[in-house]
Structure 1
Amino acid sequence: MKLRKWWYDAKTTKWQIVFGVFIIFFLFVVPFSLLDQIEWDPDWKHANFVDSILATMLGGVAVAIITGVLIIFQNVVGMDREKNQKIFDKRVELYKNFLEQTMAIIDDDVLEDHERKNLMVIEKDILMIASPETYAAWYDVYRYILKLPRTVEEMNKLRDNPNDEKEHSNRVQKIAELTTYFVNQCRKDLQIEQIKSSLMKEINEENKLEIKKHLFTGGADVTKNN
């Protein structure tokens, strides 16, 4: 079982190649070299026929071995490619789902109960398939999201205290900033060229201005007026 696991592990492909070359050398090169050492009785009339038969047999064995090794390598590469494609598709779906959830939360600045539960599920999914760096970037966002008000009433109460209002504004801005860094880390995970730091900084500054402009003018304010 351990040999089977080792053989089909894509991380050991280079050792599989060495092993395959080793087999080909001993089952192909060595027999052919020994064939040159065989000397038949000069008077034996079937000597040439036997030599040709042996050469044909050895050639057939060599072709079979080479074909087998190539098929095995092809299967290993194919399995690795299929696994990577599935992981890629799952990551894209998961990251898009998270971003949609985050944008919905930031839109009204309230972390409702069903949103919190959805984020808990996403957190475990990201922990399962994301790289350590991407999970760390996600968790930074997650920690700040959990500090958001849980109801519209809590959100409206923040207006009564300037310090609470400022703290909430900073928190929402931080979520937007960390989400941008998370997206960039997702690009790295998906092997897409990352956004330059200078552009990231510019994006974050623009996001902060938009948040300051529209904070407390969304769903919470409308609900209160109704």
Structure 2
Amino acid sequence: MATDRYRVAIREIEWDGGGVASGDDQTSTALVPARTLQEVGKTFGHSGTISVSITSRDDRELIAFSADRKTVTSLLIKGNFPPVRRLFPETVENYAVMNTADLIEATRRVALVLEREAALRYSFTPDGLTLEAIGSEQAQASESIDAILTGDATVVSLKPQFLLDGLQAVPSEYVRISFTKTENPNKPGPVLITSQTSREQAGADSYRYLLQPNLLLR
């Protein structure tokens, strides 16, 4: 799990405990600096299997990632991780399905006219998805792509880079974007990004990405 003020990502993967008995008493939690995991990804990106170990030494907790005769170690962060799992909805009835690559490329093209930190407007209707960007009076862009909408037509404003970060981790050809609601009708709920095996069939929920939209500018 990883989170900042605007988004939460969860990825679940299988692991081998090496014969350790299963049970809640065997659960371990580690808060690892993001830079360490980025380095681990670069170092072991092509390794088949990575060994992870957690140890305590002189009142310090360490984590080690090992593979191919190389090891990356780091001190763990002390404290508790925010309870972000409760932010994820169990079911969402309003969602859209589209090709992952089409959405990524359209977002990149339309975002070219935006100033830094600006957001894109995504309009989901039964006819498809329309992306709109207004960078200035001289720079505007829009593009439409195919999308299958279930539920009500929805408009959300999303920062393109935050959306791209989530889409680039989707492991499937199609992606589902689900729209949650809040008690305040003027405040949009987070959008939930998950994999989609095909246009009709949802993917496994091993990867979930929750992104808070910007307030819509009328």
What TM-score range do you get, normalising by the shorter chain?
Answer: under 0.3
Q: TM-score, normalised by structure 2?
A: 0.21
Higher strand proportion (structure 1 or 2): 2
Q: TM-score, normalised by structure 1?
A: 0.20
Greater C-alpha radius of gyration: 1
